[in-house]
Chains A and B, each alone.
Chain A
């Protein structure tokens, strides 16, 4: 280590503990004094830099931190409440939507339903072959299960039973009219927006919206259809 390097090192860090530096320091009185001067200067520098700090600095730092923490906790609490409320609301909305969906009769395509009705009549040949005189009390009981009621007589009912049309339950009746047998299918759980005609090679009929769901009337003779329709409309009441 040359003199210049030594003085530079002593200026940068007079407390340098490098063996080469310490050896050089011991080599001459001048070097020793030079290091001492630098140490004195450093001490003065440190004293000047060590300014008094504001009173309660640490306490204020901790206080500010505590206030921030409190604020964050309050915010978190509010966010948690809001999240819970939102979760509850979403759950309630889902439940309500499903409930409404389940409780409200489905509105489906009338033509599709009409086709289902025709198919059902063709499938359920048994209904047209039965010759019974179904008592009014049986009709009332079955209607009541759907919220329906008869105001007056609808004529002789030769068949009465539950049926499934288009995935929903309904009431299947066969009326023995002067023009022949007429099938009446009450579908309280299937709403349609507009009437639809039912026709195929054997049957004619109509599917029309009712106060509750829809009603289908099918017969081989068109005239009996309109008469039965008026008959049903006059005498059937939906209470619920």
Chain B
């Protein structure tokens, strides 16, 4: 049988590699269970495509697994994962720049793909969010899905606090304007 006792060299206690692997695995699984949904939603609203969002989340967690030892404070795990995801998304654009295809050769997916049960209001809301410029959309997602305070968003996006406040204000303002405009459109059924 393997001797699973902790080995001691001098004053330093060393975890046996098996324990280290198990605790690392557990730690990773805990992170995946806790944050995968939020990360997926964040990814979807960033890229507005379910398949890409799925890929982004998978890639984010793979990178997180490789660099898991660098995460020292579990409280910062979510911000850490979001930072990885944002970088992954940025890489996607880097790759995309060199990967040009003729638009007529590809089938463009309907970015807004609401289920039949979704109300017209929700569909309009959905589209209004996607219509927001990414600079306004991103802080809004961090505030709502991420649950971050404005100061934390400023830190995450490396922006000035006033800039974040302005963007959050404009994001909501633009959403309301879009939704009001839709409400006034002829043929809309009031429920």
> Given A48-B129, A49-B144, A64-B62, does the pair A57, B173 have CB atoms closer than 8 Å?
no
Q: CB within 8 A of B176: which of A41, A46, A57?
A: A41
Q: Is the CB of B41 within 8 A of A54?
A: no
Flag if A65 contacts B37 (CB, 8 Å). Answer: no
The 0/1 profile, CB within 8 Å of A marked 1, for residues 43-64 of chain B is 0110000100010011001100
| A54 and B61 contacting across the interface, CB-CB below 8 Å | no
Asked if A239 is an interface residue, CB under 8 A from chain B, the answer is no
Segment 2-60 of A: residues with Cβ below 8 Å from B: 8, 11-13, 38, 41-42, 44-51, 53-54, 57-58, 60
Minimal beta-carbon separation of A6 from chain B (angstroms): 13
Q: Are the C-beta atoms of A68 and B37 separated by less than 8 Å?
A: no
* B36: interface (CB < 8 Å): yes
Chain B hits for A103, CB < 8 A: none
Contact string, B97-137, partner A, CB cutoff 8 A, digits 1/0?
Answer: 00000000000000000000000001001100100000000
Interface centre among A13, A42, A46, A65 (most CB of B within 10 A): A65
B36 near A57: Cβ-Cβ < 8 Å: yes
Given A61-B32, A65-B65, A68-B65, check contact A54 B144 (CB 8 Å): no
Would you call B172 and A41 a contact (CB within 8 A)?
yes
Of B29, B40, B169, which contacts A53 at CB under 8 A?
Answer: B40
Residues of chain B within 8 A (CB-CB) of A69 are 65
Nearest chain B residue, comparing its CB with the CB of A60: B58
A94 at the interface (CB under 8 A from B): no
Contact B40 A54 (CB under 8 A): yes
B35 — nearest CB in chain A belongs to which residue? A58
- A76 to B84, alpha carbons, bound, how many Å? 26
Shortest CB distance B110–A (Å): 14
Contact of A81 with B by CB under 8 A: no
Residue count of chain A within 8 Å CB distance of chain B: 26
Q: B168 at interface (Cβ–Cβ under 8 A)?
A: yes
A49 to B126, CA, bound (A): 8
Of the four ranges (under 10, 10 to 19, 20 to 34, 35 or more), the interface on chain B belongs to 20 to 34
Which residue in B41, B44, B126, B144 is a CB contact (below 8 Å) of A42? B144
Q: How far is the CA of A68 from the CA of B28 in the complex (A)?
A: 13
Q: A90 in the interface, Cβ–Cβ < 8 Å?
A: no
From A12, A38, A65, give the contact of B62 (CB < 8 A): A65
**CB–CB A44/B40 < 8 A:** no
The residue on B at minimum CB distance from A59 is B32
Q: Which residues of A contact B58 (CB under 8 A)?
A: 60-61, 64
Residue B175 at the A interface, CB < 8 A?
yes
Interchain CB contact under 8 A, A50 and B41: yes
Q: Are B150 and A57 in contact (CB under 8 A)?
A: no
In the complex formed, the residue of A with least CB distance to B121 is A44
In the bound complex, residues from chain A placing their C-beta under 8 Å from that of B129 are 45, 48-49
Chain A nearest CB, measured from B113 CB (Å): 10
Is B122 a contact of A48 with CB atoms below 8 Å? yes
Closest B residue to A57 by CB, please name it: B36
In the bound complex, residues from chain A placing their C-beta under 8 Å from that of B159 are: none
The residues in A between 126 and 183 inclusive whose CB is less than 8 angstroms from any CB of B are none
Interface contact A8-B61, CB-CB below 8 Å: no
Contact between A48 and B33, CB atoms less than 8 A apart? no
Q: For the complex, is B145 an interface residue (Cβ under 8 Å from A)?
A: yes
Min C-beta distance of A229 to chain B, whole Å: 70
Q: Which residues from chain B contact A61 at a C-beta distance below 8 Å?
A: 32, 36, 57-58, 61
Assess whether B165 is interfacial by the CB under 8 Å rule. yes
Interface CB pairs A-B, < 8 A, 26: A12-B150, A12-B168, A12-B172, A44-B125, A45-B125, A45-B129, A45-B175, A46-B144, A46-B145, A47-B122, A48-B122, A48-B129, A49-B41, A49-B144, A57-B36, A57-B37, A58-B32, A61-B57, A61-B61, A62-B29, A62-B32, A64-B62, A65-B28, A65-B32, A65-B61, A65-B65
15 extra interface residue pairs, beta carbon distance < 8 Å, beyond A57-B40, A61-B36: A13-B168, A42-B144, A45-B125, A45-B172, A45-B175, A46-B145, A47-B122, A49-B45, A53-B40, A57-B36, A57-B57, A58-B32, A60-B58, A61-B58, A64-B58
